Structure 1
Amino acid sequence: MRLSTALLIAGLSRAAAFTPASLSTNVAHKSALSVASVRPETSSPAASDDWSPESWTNAVAKQMPIYEDQEELAGAVKELEKVAPLVFAGEVRSLHEKLARVSQGQGFVLMGGDCAESFKEFHVNHIRDTFRVIMQMSLVMTFGSAMPVVKIGRMAGQFAKPRSEPNEVIDGVSLPSYRGDNVNQEEFTPEARRNDPNLMVKAYYQSAQTLNILRAFSTGGFADISRLHAWNLDFVEDTAEGSRYRKLASKVDESLRFMKAIGIDTSSPEFTSVDFYTAHECLLLPYEQALTRQDSTTGKWYDCSSHMLWVGERTRDLDGAHLEFTRGIGNPLGVKVSDKCTPDELIRIINTMNPQNIPGKLSIIVRMGAEKLRKNLPELIRAVQREGKAVVWISDPVHGNTRKTDGGFKTRDFDNVRAELRAFFDVHDEMGSHPGGVHVEMTGEDVTECTGGVSSVTDESLKERYNTACDPRLNGSQALELAFLIAERMRLRTGLPSL
């Protein structure tokens, strides 16, 4: 493949990722949505063949906060029903088309961003630096594999987090667990841990700001491929992976100069902007319902809080509210599965979330740990192949590798993350299936939250810059190291020489 063609199809070109589509805002919701109307987890869901944005309220809703003031909740939901959509139907369809190609082996998905967004850490520089690392990673993976890379940020809505326990106990005091800034606050006080529905409204407005910033970076010149040297972060500059990136950037520079010499206009939008999408976990259903709109051009329902949504391991029950909600929306969807998921259960999940078997509609995001993945993933792939299901296989190599240090820090060992990603590629090589993407919690900040890798973070140095409010994230140099590993594996699959 010629380099110019490879660059154009690799997602380094601009399409209609942020072109508004006409949407209807007249959505029929229940007048007073309340968590009290959701059946308790011990009951059975109401059977219904009809879907509506509020039909999830008749099913079992796990991991949902309990709001004490139902009128306050209804008021927050009513306010969200009136706001403008954060994303538009045309953007969602653009992402769906790209994921459809990935499902056919013609691309790779890069999903990255914070474990959980927060109000107090919101800053343009933080968004810029995370966007910059994703751009670095996508350039490495695109140039390395000669394959389009679909870029999706865990941004502009990734606030809510599932919890193992509904309450947290410290020194004999029990308070509701911290569930993310759109539910309650991290401080361990009764006031902070109160589940406040108005935080959903605050999260919406921060998400709107984040999307505006991302749109500016993706289309306003920052993503210009001629600026690829400027994408480097200061703290990555002195690492081995930073050196590898500079060498690769020099190769791309040389190719760009060649294109200019033969008359190709590298100042056109195809080279100066990128498609960038957002995704978050579909967890806080009152928020998702309130932002669901009906597209006036197609009549389909879209959750306009994000381009893509995924259902987590803890909420993917077949009779659960989260699958009931997502089965009716037109967005591309994901579902996270661990070694607990059986082949039969996976097929039933696929049939629920994508009954028409539309390519690009559903991504299976695998989080198991290397050993369990090698043991369990082949049977899942075999079942999908046997049933002829069109899915995108994505590796989440971080969530199955969390541990706690003697000092009380949650961390992830980079060697284990790398081992799971290698296992993911190995299994797909054995099964003749396409490894379609990677999903990582990472940041552009110089944090010390995950041990190992070229940044040489140790258990002892975790405390130096351990900034996360929830789970540990890869820093920029660790994320870039992972990108080079992926690029090398993709080159191996396509028969290209090593970078």
Structure 2
Amino acid sequence: MDFADLSPTYARGYQPGWPVEAEVKRARDALARADPLVPASGIRRLQARLAEPGFLLHAGDCAETFRDNTRTSVAKRVSLLHAMSDAIEAKSGRPVVMVGRIAGQYAKPRSAPTEHRTGITLPSYFGDAVNDTDFSAAGRTPDPWNLVRAHEHSKKTLSHLEGSGVFASHEALLLDYEQPQTRRSADEGRVYDHSAHLLWIGERTRSLTGDHVDFAAGIANPIAVKIGPGATPAALMGLHAVLNPENLPGRLAFIFRMGRHRAYDLAYAMLSRIMAEGWTDRVICDPMHGNTVVSPAGLKTRVVAAIEAETREFFSACNDTGVTPGGIHLEVSGDDVSECVPARVDDTYLAINYRSACDPRLNPEQASYLAQLVGELLVSHRHFVQREEMTASRR
């Protein structure tokens, strides 16, 4: 196929350029016949948990891969989520809801539809649900049957998650994957996307006139939306009006990913509007996606010190507006990877064990440090709220 033809398709909602449309229909039909990955009862249970004051720990792989979908790998990721949750609860006394980037995070939007290496142009890697990391024409050609393979691997992962207390989530990027798994509940008539408990919309696909927001508005799952530095309070108003018009607790969350340099000012403006409007929407800090840099050797990385700085700025903005911090969104690995650097970019350190198929992840030591920090910041916020309540009672 002519890979140059991918650009127009990719521009329309970051969807892959499937080479044979008839095969896409067959793959969609197979997904429509497949058993639901998660039941409506589990989705409702998560929404009920999110409607309560607990803190959301939303963490996991940047991009899951089929090859790493083993019982051991899943167990490591679940163990890390539990360790982080325990650390936050022990420090803050606040209950934690664990939602993994797991059992479906097989697709990634990319900044460019194609990748260039040594004079060769091929499609970018869009996640295992689309194509392969192998830089070859065969590996990078989008294959719609990978959507079915993603469903099969997600089912396998969920079998390992049974009884773990971790809910599943992924970015609702590939509509050819999400739409066939969307069904109306026979007992209550609501429409659910059975591919995950929680779905989120990315910064690139959150347009109010886009297909992704339209899709999310029609399902009853909890929904999150990534909010980057280009967003405005007016954009939040539009998203709230479309995705949570009834202002239901547990329905909608905004995940702020601003970058450490502007994190406080941008979050403060958004949080002030949320407070003024009286919305029940949860606010979550993603201190990673706005702090990605490229090393001299060309590897994407993130500096833990920058991640910590944005986390602190987010909590400060919550304190100063009176909005309760609702969660943290992190990309983490259960393995001892060397993808995020402690304080400065160091290619020697990155070369030790850089394994991510896409973006850099925190290793267990780094993730545990962030969890401890979050617990401490939650204590500070709790005291702030208590002081305000005491002040108000004296008036």
With the shorter chain as reference, the TM-score category is over 0.9
Task: Give the counterpart of 1:482 among 349, 365, 370.
Answer: 370
Cα deviation for residue 130 of structure 1 reads: 0.9
Letter of the structure 1 residue corresponding to residue 376 of structure 2: E
Larger of the two Rg values belongs to structure? 1
- Whole-angstrom distance in 1 between the partners of 2:346 and 2:114: 31
The answer to whether the Cα contact below 8 Å between 2:87 and 2:375 also exists between their aligned partners in 1 is yes
The match for 2:3 is none
Gaps of 5+ in 1: 1-39, 43-59, 219-274
The match for 2:247 is 357
The match for 1:417 is 307
Task: Give the counterpart of 2:320 among 422, 426, 430.
Answer: 430
The match for 1:277 is 167
- Whole-angstrom distance in 1 between the partners of 2:226 and 2:151: 24
- Whole-angstrom distance in 2 between the partners of 1:41 and 1:448: 35
The match for 1:211 is 158
The match for 2:54 is 107
The answer to whether the Cα contact below 8 Å between 1:61 and 1:321 also exists between their aligned partners in 2 is no
The match for 1:377 is 267
- Whole-angstrom distance in 1 between the partners of 2:380 and 2:241: 33
Q: Which deviates more, 441-450 or 459-468?
A: 459-468
The answer to whether the Cα contact below 8 Å between 2:254 and 2:281 also exists between their aligned partners in 1 is yes
Letter of the structure 2 residue corresponding to residue 171 of structure 1: T
Relative to structure 1, the CA distance from residue 301 to residue 61 in structure 2 (aligned partners, 3 Å threshold; closer, same or farther) is farther
1:66 matched to 2:66: no
Cα deviation for residue 493 of structure 1 reads: 2.5
The match for 1:181 is 128
- Equivalence map 1:40-439=2 (5 Å): 61-101=12-52, 106-216=53-163, 218=164, 275-439=165-329
- Whole-angstrom distance in 1 between the partners of 2:288 and 2:129: 24
Gaps of 5+ in 2: 1-7, 385-395
The match for 1:51 is none
Letter of the structure 2 residue corresponding to residue 448 of structure 1: S
Name the % identity: 40
Cα deviation for residue 495 of structure 1 reads: 3.9
Secondary structure of the structure 1 residue equivalent to 2:347: coil
Cα deviation for residue 74 of structure 1 reads: 0.6
- Whole-angstrom distance in 1 between the partners of 2:108 and 2:166: 23
Secondary structure of the structure 2 residue equivalent to 1:76: helix
Secondary structure of the structure 1 residue equivalent to 2:37: coil
Taking structure 1 as the reference length, the TM-score comes to 0.74
Cα deviation for residue 370 of structure 1 reads: 2.0
Letter of the structure 1 residue corresponding to residue 233 of structure 2: P
The match for 1:252 is none
- Whole-angstrom distance in 2 between the partners of 1:324 and 1:458: 43
Secondary structure of the structure 2 residue equivalent to 1:191: helix
Cα deviation for residue 457 of structure 1 reads: 8.8
Task: Give the counterpart of 1:491 among 351, 367, 379.
Answer: 379
Taking structure 2 as the reference length, the TM-score comes to 0.93
Letter of the structure 2 residue corresponding to residue 154 of structure 1: R
Cα deviation for residue 41 of structure 1 reads: 7.8
- Whole-angstrom distance in 2 between the partners of 1:177 and 1:389: 39
- Equivalence map 1:25-36=2 (5 Å): none
- Whole-angstrom distance in 2 between the partners of 1:436 and 1:355: 20
- Whole-angstrom distance in 2 between the partners of 1:176 and 1:139: 41
The match for 2:390 is none
- Whole-angstrom distance in 1 between the partners of 2:286 and 2:347: 23
Cα deviation for residue 124 of structure 1 reads: 1.2
The answer to whether the Cα contact below 8 Å between 1:451 and 1:459 also exists between their aligned partners in 2 is no
Relative contact order, CA 8 A, sep 6+: which one is greater? 1
- Whole-angstrom distance in 1 between the partners of 2:269 and 2:248: 22
Secondary structure of the structure 1 residue equivalent to 2:183: strand
Letter of the structure 2 residue corresponding to residue 316 of structure 1: R
Secondary structure of the structure 2 residue equivalent to 1:364: strand
* Runs of 4+ with >3 A deviation: 456-459
Secondary structure of the structure 1 residue equivalent to 2:184: strand
The answer to whether the Cα contact below 8 Å between 1:452 and 1:458 also exists between their aligned partners in 2 is no
- Residues 9-49 of structure 1: per-residue CA shift (max 9 Å, x gap): xxxxxxxxxxxxxxxxxxxxxxxxxxxxxxx789xxxxxxx
The match for 2:392 is none
Q: RMSD over aligned Cα, in angstroms?
A: 1.6
- Whole-angstrom distance in 2 between the partners of 1:116 and 1:169: 21
Cα deviation for residue 165 of structure 1 reads: 0.8
- Whole-angstrom distance in 1 between the partners of 2:240 and 2:380: 30
The answer to whether the Cα contact below 8 Å between 2:43 and 2:221 also exists between their aligned partners in 1 is yes
- Whole-angstrom distance in 2 between the partners of 1:369 and 1:484: 21
Secondary structure of the structure 2 residue equivalent to 1:461: helix
- Equivalence map 1:461-480=2 (5 Å): 461-480=349-368
